[in-house]
Structure 1
């Protein structure tokens, strides 16, 4: 019994040591990233410890409030991040729709001007971690989405790309990928969320970007 206990301790120590040697990867993003993160974690098993920020990252304004908590005190080797889908969302406090989304009578969460200012601050903060950064473009907004205007994501992505390129950060273009997705990969017409297969496709592209950047750092 004592030998078995010692063996378990040795194996546990080896596993812990092995985990400590893996790269620490933080994914910051909205519900789309929450959907693909488990698949990314599986694809990078044995290569990286993949974690996601607590909950939904929401708009850049929430990012400014929560970023220190998400970063924590652990050394991060790579941060894959995105904001945008919630910045361009219209909300109405009196709406009965889910999360008060209402593009007809609501107010946009963050204008393009405010989005740019917030994103600049967030990028500067992320750069101070010393981690390699990867930006993910905002996924497509389909026609009929209750709180978002299809095409606004193009404007926000264009502005984000200007900020991101200025800082020399590589881009994982999830917009281009979801733009060509067939309807079957979305949960429902007018829904920004994807099916399991849709998230798996985004995960494969995201894992490739992360793995490539981690290899460059070796």
Structure 2
């Protein structure tokens, strides 16, 4: 059976189980249910661990963004300014391709208004700051890279914008169950297309 790897932050952790359900019997969907991919440098390390443990994948579906653009006091700038973000996206993409996988990159979901929230996946981060202007800037940089590299983009930003509240839950960063299910359905569609089974 073909193998699919899901990489990414807490948004991925919100939709990964639903993707697995949707693709049950069609491919093996693998992810770490307990480890948030956080910022892109961490995801690079995490991807390498998954490749060591599980071998070759047919498809990698992946997102990064919120942690990279986070300006967490007392730091004065983002964890990964845009140029560093793009650098690590290139590194992750290169490792996925060395593994032999087709890659799908998912954009960061939109923000209604600037604010901050605790991470909800056990990392003990208590100040993920968010701002839609940052999201748009980082998404634009990521999409430009993926266009250059001929990588499929799953535009979760556009998907969530279809809802008046962007499918946001009470903390205004993470998504409602409906939002995660919508993201999962779109991810599953792109994955099946990449596997040639759509």
Distance 1:181 1:71, change over 3 A: farther
TM-score, with length taken from structure 1: 0.78
Q: How far 1:216 sits from its partner (Å)?
A: 6.1
Verify the 8 A CA contact 2:8 2:43 in the aligned structure 1. Answer: no
Aligned partners of 2:23, 2:6: CA distance in 1, in Å?
Answer: 13
Instruction: Give CA deviations for 1:123-153 in whole Å, capped at 9, x if unaligned.
Output: 1111111111111111112303221222211
Q: How far 1:70 sits from its partner (Å)?
A: 2.4
**Structure 2, gaps ≥5 residues long:** 117-128
Match of 2:18 among 39, 61, 72: 39
Number of aligned residues: 184
Task: Give the greater-gyration-radius structure (CA).
Answer: 1
Correspondence 1:90 to 2:60: no
Aligned partners of 2:47, 2:166: CA distance in 1, in Å?
Answer: 35
Instruction: Give CA deviations for 1:13-47 in whole Å, capped at 9, x if unaligned.
Output: xxxxxxxxx21100001111111111111111100
TM-score, with length taken from structure 2: 0.86
Higher relative contact order (CA 8 A, sep 6+): 2
Determine helix, strand or coil for the equivalent of 1:128. Answer: helix
Tell me how large the CA RMSD over aligned residues is: 1.9
Verify the 8 A CA contact 2:105 2:154 in the aligned structure 1. Answer: yes
**Structure 1, gaps ≥5 residues long:** 1-21, 94-104
Task: Map 1:22-61; keep pairs closer than 5 Å.
Answer: 22-53=1-32, 55-61=35-41
Instruction: Give CA deviations for 1:98-123 in whole Å, capped at 9, x if unaligned.
Output: xxxxxxx7531110111111111111
Aligned partners of 2:184, 2:146: CA distance in 1, in Å?
Answer: 21
Match of 1:178 among 160, 171, 174: 160
Match of 1:141 among 104, 107, 111: 111
